[in-house]
Chain A
Amino acid sequence: MVWWEQERKAIIELIKLIKEGKELKREGGRKKKKKRSTKEDMKLSALHQSYLNRRNNSFRSPAALDSSVDGSGKSLAAVFWLVLHCLCCLISLVLGFRFSRLVFFFLFSTSSTNLYSAPFRPDLPLKHLDVRTIGRNLDPSPVIGANSTATAATKSSRVVVGRHGIRIRPWPHPNPAEVMKAHQIIERVQKEQKTVFGMKSSRTVIAVTPTYVRTFQALHLTGVMHSLMLVPYDLVWIVVEAGGATNETGSIIAKSGLRTIHVGFNQRMPNTWEDRGKLEVLMRLQALRQVSKNYLFCLLEISGIVVREEKLDGIVMFADDSNMHSMELFDEIQRVKWFGAVSVGILAHSGNAEEMVMSIEKRKEMEEEESSSIPVQGPACNSTTGELIGWHVFNTLPYAGKSAVYIDDVAAVLPQKLEWSGFVLNSRLLWEEEGESRPEWVKEFGSLNENEGVESPLSLLNDPSMVEPLGTCGRQVLLWWLRVEARADSKFPSGWIIDPPLEITVAAKRTPWPEFLPEPPTKKRDQMPLPRGNNVVVIPKQQHPGKIRKPKRRSKRNKHEPKPTDTTLLVSSSSSSKQHQERN
């Protein structure tokens, strides 16, 4: 019975050992495993070793378990295993995992050099494994948790079946240097994609914009500028300004970061839409001359004027400053060979809602005539052959007699028959020399006489039928035409910078501070009707008094009066035009 006593002691030791191992295993069993220090490893292996020594003292070998037990002890052995099994079950219930696996690992992995700790140390190669096929001997036993079975063939596999540790490096978080490298790789891949799948050879886009300084200029020009900044191709922006090149326009377009050519035109923009249209044509032609000439000014504020001998090569498109362009437009115009046309959506906005309703009704009355009420101007194609047969033109009849004449009229602004913005042309058409590259159906640009009246870009051509329709033959509307301007006498701060700063402010409604401040004794006060919106109303200085007035400011105000750019501002969200007139 000596071995039984020894056995019991061994079991107690085993349990102690397993409790320690359990703690380690529990750490391992949970999803967060950390790399163990070598000290712990040594400790584990020392414990392991001592345990094995004990085991080997009491038993010759675990595989020879059955043989070492004599006949009389056989039933005792069975009982022993049963007791051990029950113990394991109980412990498993408590711990929540299969405890017997751990036991068998410690019992039977005597000769395998592959320790349980091996997976935690990624530097330890798994090559020199000497695994045995334990599977056959332990058929009735549960699947072993250790790295047990392997190929029965002569070659031993590098890969072993069974439980492996989950390797986690010491600092499992992103490394910023690597993130940067990855982003560079992504950029490189995308660049390659663009060259392989995107546009094979993209041509420079030359955008021509006629403009002049007025209230809505900042609005319109910023819109065009942002659209052009998004264009993925090389871009040259030619801005022709009526009334000469001004700093105001220059400062707006400088913000774009694009290559710009700011050209002044020495006539002021007239007050009627018709004349404005004519002047714009002249301005565009001036810009085209810029394209065709053999010098190119690149105005850089910092580095002075650089003159280069170069003609602009690319695709000329007309980006009127109040139009709205889609990005697909710029992709589509790359396809043009010489002269192309796109469909333009016409937004004939009428300032007066009543007028609009009436015109719609009138249009319905005229419904017997199938006049196209689609607000689109562009090429029309033969549906079968896809060739250009004519032009869709915006139907201006409903607006007859009611269209705006002056720029600030409250009425619909109508487009020309064919707006310039719907056409694009290859800049080589405009070059003066090299006649052989230019087709015969294009007039020579240098000899164009604008005094004869250049209505639409088709006058640049000898044969208008050679125009290429773009955007699936005009079925896609790629840009929209709109004309919206403020009143002719509307004033705005130069550069939209309020200088000097306004001094009198009036609190709006529904603000926590009191609306009416105690009035100073000496003044007479005109009741200023509060606007319907709840914004802050800024009262201009030279107007009749608002709520608050400080007497000593008066002299200052008088000084400011003769300033040419008045600060007549009314920031209000809900004022209609009628109220506006009242204010003025």
Chain B
Amino acid sequence: MIGLSSSELGGSAGDVLDDDPVGRLKVFVYELPSKYNKKILQKDPRCLTHMFAAEIYMQRFLLSSPVRTLNPEEADWFYVPVYTTCDLTPNGLPLPFKSPRMMRSAIQLIASNWPYWNRTEGADHFFVVPHDFGACFHYQEEKAIGRGILPLLQRATLVQTFGQRNHVCLKEGSITVPPYAPPQKMQSHLIPEKTPRSIFVYFRGLFYDVGNDPEGGYYARGARAAVWENFKDNPLFDISTEHPTTYYEDMQRAIFCLCPLGWAPWSPRLVEAVIFGCIPVIIADDIVLPFADAIPWEDIGVFVDEKDVPYLDTILTSIPPEVILRKQRLLANPSMKQAMLFPQPAQPGDAFHQVLNGLARKLPHERSVFLRPGEKLLNWTAGPVADLKPW
């Protein structure tokens, strides 16, 4: 445990991350009418910078990537570029109410114009659904659970940011990706690495969502409120709701960064913590972290159960310093940081490539993927009545 050589560290964290997907798979990108993607983006260019921007950048990446093929007969995977998370409120939050209809309409289009959807009923297609609860298309957890994943996407592979074990909205075989965080902005706030880390625990964000949950207990399942109540006067915990201009710089001066759940278990804080070398303290029961099959999150971050939040200081101070130093060394691995980002233009080892790696690992498709002629598994009329309306 103490004094690991760099090759050993590189092996444990970096080998799968460094795989090159080019040559291992072929992706065909459907040409959808621009009302599904470009026109939506034109209506609201804020979609390019918010945390759900992965769907847009994924399409741009695939269009110019060497894995793209123009011949659908030789494609292993099919990609449907539909921007379901770009209908924004004035505040910038995406409304999911039209998303099921949009998705359904897109699928109907590809099912009628190309034979490949019906061939497998979508089992070799993948979609990017970076919304709060993925393809459940709702921001409220109860409603999302109630709706479940869109029935038409039952067989497709979903690339989403949401991940929680034994949850309706995470289906088997989905690929969890990190939320989009602007790489240029983070690069521009880097400080010299020898700046000593003097903050023990750092967090900036809401503890109580007074707008939606005034009494507390709903938001973050009470975990964020527990953090505040237990540690607001603790000098080791630099926590507050202010949004300082030196947020990125402060993270680089901290040893631990709290990444508690909010309304959804994922947040860009994880990406920021990894980029800035701050050990993420993940407080979200049963969460599935991005690229969990490629990144050894247990070795990098600290997982704290929500019920153990009142004892967070004991937990963190009882970690032996060697373990902390090892975690920092793993975090310093550049391939780890690269895997969390969506840079433009794409760079080797970044999140786009990790998605492709994940897709490549699922190849070759099983026999059951290809349906016998006449076999129908999807129910095109399932789901709430409102979803069946055309978009």
Contacts and interface: CB of A to CB of B under 8 A. Distances in A.
Contact of B310 (A32, A157, A169): A169
Interface stretch (A188-196, A220-228, A320-328): A188-196
B230 interface: yes
21 contacts: A122-B307, A149-B145, A149-B146, A151-B166, A152-B168, A153-B166, A158-B285, A159-B164, A161-B142, A161-B145, A164-B217, A164-B306, A166-B217, A168-B310, A175-B313, A181-B317, A181-B318, A182-B236, A182-B313, A189-B325, A197-B193
A166 B222 contact: yes
Interface of B: 141-142, 145-146, 148, 164-168, 192-194, 196-198, 200, 208, 215-218, 221-222, 225-226, 229-231, 233-236, 255, 285-286, 306-311, 313-314, 316-319, 321, 324-325, 328
B310 A167 contact: yes
B141 A158 contact: no
Nearest to B169: A151
A47 interface: no
Contacts, number: 141
Shortest beta-carbon contacts, A-B, top 3: A197-B194, A169-B310, A164-B222
Contacts of A161: 141-142, 145
Contacts of B167: 151, 157, 159
Interface string A179-210: 10110111011101110111000000000000
B284 to A, nearest CB: 9
A152 B225 contact: no
B291 to A, nearest CB: 22
A126 B307 CA distance: 10
Interface of A: 29, 31-33, 97, 119, 122, 126, 135, 143, 148-153, 155-159, 161-169, 172-175, 178-179, 181-182, 184-186, 188-190, 192-194, 196-198
B233 A31 contact: no
Contacts of A190: 196-198
Contacts of A33: 229
Interface of A, secondary structure class, is loop
Given A185-B324, A189-B197, A169 B285 contact: no
B253 to A, nearest CB: 11
A164 B221 contact: yes
Contact of B236 (A155, A174, A188): A174
B166 A174 contact: no
A189 B145 CA distance: 43
Contacts of A150: 145
Contacts of B286: 157-159
A192 B326 CA distance: 11
A168 B226 contact: yes
Contacts of A175: 313-314
A178 B317 contact: yes
B145 to A, nearest CB: 6
B203 to A, nearest CB: 15
A33 B225 CA distance: 11
Given A153-B166, A186-B198, A119 B222 contact: yes
A167 B166 contact: no
B235 A179 contact: yes
Contact of A149 (B142, B218, B236, B318): B142
Contacts of B142: 135, 143, 148-149, 161-162
A142 to B, nearest CB: 11
Most B C-beta atoms less than 10 A away, residue of A31, A158, A164: A164
A97 B197 contact: no
Contacts of B148: 152
B222 A167 contact: yes
Given A182-B316, A188-B324, 6 more contacts: A122-B307, A157-B286, A174-B233, A179-B236, A192-B328, A193-B196
A153 B148 CA distance: 11
Contacts of A165: 217, 222
Contacts of A153: 166, 168
